[in-house]
């Protein structure tokens, strides 16, 4: 009995000590500590009323500690509500537990950096380009103003000299704002004719060269509508053609009631190349074939040139022959039309004219071009015209077109004196042997017996000709010259007279 009482008192004292410690330091999470060993039921019952008072005191202490824990919990919750949490702010960095999310984050940042860099670079280039454009516009305005002052000074000096204003001269080069602002100022005259003159132009932006044809002024008896139709029809014909042996037509500019046709520039004049005497036999053959190819293309388009001659051929830097000047060209067959539209009038240069042009009021222009091709070949080989004009009044042509039979009834022989030879052999004997057969079929006075363009291209000799550069050695010395050919039947080198430069 005494041992049990001693154990119970120790238990009470241990419980009181624990509660007191908890009261001193309350905790919202810790629970009251229970003794490791509880008294047995028989021992508790034996205590009796003496232990009743001690149990009531323990209950009071437990209730006080519970209230203290509740107050501490409320104070902790209040403190957490006042403290700002980091979850309310957006997270700048992804979770460090995921390497994939981290890689995506850095890739996205790198991509934004690159895009920003490219955008800044593009903006810099745009600003640089705008600055360059403003610089070019300023230089162009300065150049145009200088040109105006130059023209004004020239007009003033011309007026003081008593020769009138240069702007009223047909051959003058007045200030042309629309043309010069696009292609540059008009340069030297490269050639002239009844249809106008051709000048050289250098574009300031890239230094590219063009040939500009200034059309003739309107005649006094010519209406504005007729004049505009004549000019625009020539431009439309040339602009519609696209062939390596046809000069390219680029633009048509109208200014001060004058029309200007901008064309591809041919740096070498074919006439001057022939006159230089430096072309080889193969280059002459190649030039003839290239001219034939250009005419074949024209005829396939329903057009006839009608003014074929050495002067209307130019040569490019790579040695390609190109046809120019379509002012006399006509349409002999319209699309979806089978019948040939006859041409009228004497058009072309006298030595190159076909005989039927002189004595027929209407004629097919295709055989006329073919006849002119034969004359071109004779000129390139012989460097002389075979006759002045294809008329019986011209002795050389009369002997060519005469019957080969002599007065005594015998045939004209090849070995006879050249002065007594009659008929086509008078000319064909001077040409290369390989070309005589084809040229004999081209230079036929009777139009019905003259060969066609198709037959020329199908000729065996023509097929064997290789297309090569026609520029001879030392061609840099051959430049455009203003020439006026007088047909006398004499060697060509004696027929050229230089025209004073304007």
pLDDT tens column, 362-375:
999 999 999 999 99
Positive or negative, the CA dihedral 54, 55, 57, 58 is positive
Burial class of residue 181 (count of CB atoms within 10 Å of its CB; 0-12, 13-18, 19+): middle
DSSP β-bridge partners for residue 253: 260
Task: Answer yes or no: is pLDDT of 499 > 50.
Answer: no
The catalytic residue positions are 307
* Cα–Cα separations (whole angstroms), residue 376 to 239, 299, 351, 386, 442: 25, 18, 10, 10, 11
Task: Answer yes or no: is pLDDT of 298 > 60.
Answer: yes
- Residue 111, pLDDT score: 86
Q: Which residue carries 């050229």 as its tokens?
A: 496
Bridge-based pairing of strands 321-323 and 313-315 is antiparallel
273 contacts 279 by C-beta, under 8 angstroms: yes
Task: Answer yes or no: is pLDDT of 157 > 50.
Answer: yes
Rounded-to-integer distance, Cα 422 and Cα 475, Å:
39
Q: Which residue carries 């000047």 as its tokens?
A: 325
Least confident range of 12-26, 240-254, 336-350, 471-485: 12-26
Least confident range of 9-13, 179-183, 216-220, 395-399: 9-13
- Residue 250, pLDDT score: 93
Rounded-to-integer distance, Cα 478 and Cα 319, Å:
13
Q: Where is pLDDT greater, at 496 or 227?
A: 227
Rounded-to-integer distance, Cα 329 and Cα 380, Å:
23
- Residue 87, pLDDT score: 47
Task: Answer yes or no: is pLDDT of 169 > 50.
Answer: no
Rounded-to-integer distance, Cα 402 and Cα 423, Å:
5
Residue range 32-45: average pLDDT?
A: 45
Share of the chain above pLDDT 70, in %: 66
374 contacts 442 by C-beta, under 8 angstroms: yes
Residue range 221-245: average pLDDT?
A: 90
Residue range 477-483: average pLDDT?
A: 52
Q: Where is pLDDT greater, at 56 or 118?
A: 118
* Cα–Cα separations (whole angstroms), residue 235 to 60, 216, 325: 122, 14, 10
- Residue 191, pLDDT score: 81
From the list 246, 484, 231, the residue with the least C-alpha distance to 349 is 484
Task: Answer yes or no: is pLDDT of 439 > 70.
Answer: yes
Going by pLDDT thresholds of 50, 70 and 90, the confidence category of residue 168 is very low
Going by pLDDT thresholds of 50, 70 and 90, the confidence category of residue 378 is very high
Give the domains, in start order, of the chain with CATH numbers.
180-263 (3.30.200.20), 268-498 (1.10.510.10)
Residue range 468-492: average pLDDT?
A: 57
| Residue 334, number of CB atoms within 10 A of its CB | 9
Task: Answer yes or no: is pLDDT of 493 > 50.
Answer: no
For 250, phi then psi, to 5°, come to -105, -50
Q: Rounded to 5 degrees, what angle do the CA atoms 198, 202, 205 make? A: 150
Q: Which residue carries 């992804």 as its tokens?
A: 94
Residue range 156-185: average pLDDT?
A: 57
DSSP H/E element including 21: helix 2-24
Q: Which residue carries 């001693």 as its tokens?
A: 6
> C-alpha 321: how far from its chain's center?
23
Q: Where is pLDDT greater, at 274 or 11?
A: 274
Tokens of residue 259, six digits:
């029309």
DSSP β-bridge partners for residue 344: 362
- Residue 65, pLDDT score: 63
Beta strands in 33-153 (DSSP E): none
The single-letter DSSP state of residue 166 is G
pLDDT digits (tens, 9 = 90+) for 43-56: 444 444 444 444 55
Least confident range of 165-169, 193-197, 200-204: 165-169
- Residue 103, pLDDT score: 78
Rounded-to-integer distance, Cα 311 and Cα 350, Å:
13
Rounded-to-integer distance, Cα 11 and Cα 364, Å:
145
Rounded-to-integer distance, Cα 449 and Cα 226, Å:
38
Rounded-to-integer distance, Cα 446 and Cα 220, Å:
40
- Residue 457, pLDDT score: 95
Residue range 177-186: average pLDDT?
A: 82
Beta strands in 25-172 (DSSP E): none
Rounded-to-integer distance, Cα 324 and Cα 419, Å:
37
- Residue 167, pLDDT score: 37
- Residue 480, pLDDT score: 57
- Residue 38, pLDDT score: 45
| Residue 459, number of CB atoms within 10 A of its CB | 17
Going by pLDDT thresholds of 50, 70 and 90, the confidence category of residue 152 is low
| Residue 134, number of CB atoms within 10 A of its CB | 10
Rounded-to-integer distance, Cα 20 and Cα 288, Å:
130
**pTM surpassing 0.85?**
no
Task: Answer yes or no: is pLDDT of 101 > 90.
Answer: no
Least confident range of 39-43, 402-406, 458-462: 39-43
């Amino acid at each position: 009995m005494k041992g049990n009482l001693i154990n119970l008192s120790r238990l009470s004292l241990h419980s009181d000590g624990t509660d007191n410690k908890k009261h001193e330091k309350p905790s919202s999470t810790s629970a009251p500590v229970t003794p490791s060993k509880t008294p047995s039921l028989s021992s508790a019952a034996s205590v009796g009323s003496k232990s009743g008072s001690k149990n009531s005191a323990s209950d009071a202490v437990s209730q006080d500690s519970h209230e203290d824990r509740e107050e501490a919990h409320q104070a902790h919750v209040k403190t957490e509500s006042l403290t700002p949490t980091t979850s309310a702010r957006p997270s700048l960095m992804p979770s460090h537990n995921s390497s994939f999310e981290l890689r995506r984050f850095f890739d996205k940042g790198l991509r934004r950096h690159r895009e920003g860099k490219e955008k800044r670079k593009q903006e810099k280039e745009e600003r640089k380009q705008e600055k360059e454009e403003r610089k070019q516009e300023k230089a162009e305005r300065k150049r145009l103003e200088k040109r105006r002052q130059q023209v004004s000074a020239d007009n003033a000096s011309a007026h003081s000299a008593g020769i009138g204003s240069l702007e009223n001269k047909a051959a003058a080069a007045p200030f042309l704002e629309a043309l010069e602002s696009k292609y540059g100022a008009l340069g030297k005259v490269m050639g002239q004719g009844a249809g106008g003159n051709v000048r050289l132009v250098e574009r300031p932006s890239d230094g590219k060269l063009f040939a500009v044809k200034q059309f003739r002024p309107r005649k006094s008896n010519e209406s504005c509508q007729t004049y505009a139709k004549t000019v625009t029809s020539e431009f439309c014909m040339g602009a519609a053609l696209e062939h390596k042996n046809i000069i390219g037509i680029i633009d048509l500019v109208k200014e001060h009631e004058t029309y200007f046709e901008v064309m591809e520039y041919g740096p070498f004049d074919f006439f001057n190349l022939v006159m230089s005497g430096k072309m080889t036999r193969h280059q002459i053959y190649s030039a003839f074939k290239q001219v034939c190819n250009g005419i074949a293309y024209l005829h396939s388009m329903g057009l006839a040139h009608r003014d074929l001659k050495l002067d209307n051929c130019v040569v490019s830097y790579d040695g390609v022959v190109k046809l120019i000047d379509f002012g006399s060209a006509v349409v002999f067959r319209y699309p979806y039309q089978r019948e040939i539209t006859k041409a009228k009038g004497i058009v072309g240069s006298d030595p190159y004219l076909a005989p039927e042009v002189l004595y027929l009021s209407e004629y097919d222009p295709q055989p006329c071009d073919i006849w002119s091709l034969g004359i071109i070949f004779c000129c390139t080989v012989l460097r002389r015209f075979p006759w002045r004009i294809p008329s019986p009044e011209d002795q050389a042509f009369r002997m060519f077109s005469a019957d080969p039979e002599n007065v005594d009834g015998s045939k004209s022989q090849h070995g006879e004196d050249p002065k007594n030879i009659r008929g086509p052999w008078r000319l064909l004997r001077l040409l290369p042997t390989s070309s005589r057969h084809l040229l004999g079929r081209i230079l036929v006075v009777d139009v019905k017996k003259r060969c066609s363009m198709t037959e020329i291209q199908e000729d065996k000799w023509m097929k064997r000709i290789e297309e090569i550069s026609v520029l001879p050695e030392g061609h840099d010395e051959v430049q455009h010259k203003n020439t006026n050919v007088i047909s006398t039947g004499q060697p060509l080198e004696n027929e050229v007279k230089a025209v004073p430069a304007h």
